[in-house]
Amino acid sequence: MTLSESIQGNQKLTVPMPGINCMALGSTAPLSMTLLDALTVHVKMSLIHNITQHISKQAQHKSGVALAPALIETYARLLVYTEIESIGIKTFITNLLPHVFKSHVWSILHALLEIIIHRIHHSPHQYRAQFLSTIHHMAAVPLNTVTQITQLHLCMESVALRLITGLGNREVMPSLTCFFSPDSKPNVISTDSEELNRVLVLTMARAIHVTGKEMRILYDFEIKVAHDILAYLTLNMQ
């Protein structure tokens, strides 16, 4: 049995999870950090690739059984290794999250969002704005187009809030401005939550005050932010 197979579980063995009629695949013991630390970069990359492929297949098949707890915890542990970030956290943001969202498998999406919430302090700051953009894109889907998604939207808002407030003063500007082009709309702005936009502006103001740094691109960014928030408020007041 391979490492990835040992944590995936099988359909014949399930374990009860919190919630009503919620069952998960039966593997509950994640790979230890000691073992993961001992693996070569190549083996780590192969392992996280297999896990990503497994989650994608489960989402595509719309499995009614939740992912194995061992798989989720092992995946969360692997995401913190910077030497495999190209196939780890980058793939997580750009491919896996959007794929699971498009598949409308909310149980898996919830699990992935929980990974972000509890491992956010391990995420390099340069990926947090990209996380934020992806979350806003998913949260922009109108509630009436997807059933039973209110709790999911609240979870997305919680993730976005932690992403914004988790940025250090010296991380705010590099994270946000590298994800912004003066000729394009900044996609770190929420079209659904005035509170999140207010927190974003206050976080930027705090960073400017503490670091004493202002740049031309930051000025353009703030103009765009103010314009989008004003447009958001105008739309919601009609």
Do 129 and 86 form a contact (C-beta atoms < 8 A)?
no
- Domain assignment of residue 53, given as a range: 1-92
What is the number of domains present in the chain? 2
Indicate whether 86 and 20 sit together in one domain.
Answer: yes
Among the three residues 73, 92, 111, which one is the final residue of a domain in this structure? 92
Query: What are the tens digits of pLDDT across the range 80-111?
Result: 898 998 888 889 998 999 999 988 888 899 89
Query: What are the tens digits of pLDDT across the range 129-172?
Result: 788 888 888 877 665 555 557 778 888 888 888 888 887 777 77
Indicate whether 32 and 73 sit together in one domain.
Answer: yes
Does residue 195 sit within a domain?
yes
pLDDT at residue number 231: 67
pLDDT at residue number 146: 54
| CB-count burial class (<10 Å; 0-12, 13-18, 19+) for 232 | middle
The C-alpha angle 51, 140, 171, rounded to 5 degrees, equals 70
Does residue 168 sit within a domain?
yes
pLDDT at residue number 216: 55
The total of other beta-carbon atoms located within 10 Å of residue 215's CB is: 11
Indicate whether 85 and 133 sit together in one domain.
Answer: no
For residues 215-220, average pLDDT: 58
Does residue 119 sit within a domain?
no
The maximal CA–CA distance of the chain, rounded, in angstroms, is 60
Indicate whether 152 and 207 sit together in one domain.
Answer: yes
Indicate whether 149 and 199 sit together in one domain.
Answer: yes
pLDDT at residue number 238: 57
Query: What are the tens digits of pLDDT across the range 167-207?
Result: 777 777 776 666 555 555 556 777 777 788 888 878 878 87
Q: pTM to 2 decimals?
A: 0.80
pLDDT at residue number 97: 92
For residues 219-225, average pLDDT: 64
Query: What are the tens digits of pLDDT across the range 16-74?
Result: 777 677 778 878 889 999 999 999 999 999 999 999 999 999 999 887 788 899 999 99
Taking the C-alpha atoms of residue 106 and residue 139, their distance in angstroms, rounded to an integer, is 13
Does residue 4 sit within a domain?
yes
Q: Backbone phi, then psi, for 115, in 5-degree steps? A: -60, -45
Does residue 117 sit within a domain?
no
Does residue 26 sit within a domain?
yes
Taking the C-alpha atoms of residue 24 and residue 137, their distance in angstroms, rounded to an integer, is 28
Q: Can you say how many angstroms the Cα of residue 191 is from the centroid of all Cα atoms in its chain?
A: 18
Does residue 98 sit within a domain?
no
Does residue 112 sit within a domain?
no
pLDDT at residue number 73: 93
pLDDT at residue number 65: 83
pLDDT at residue number 43: 94
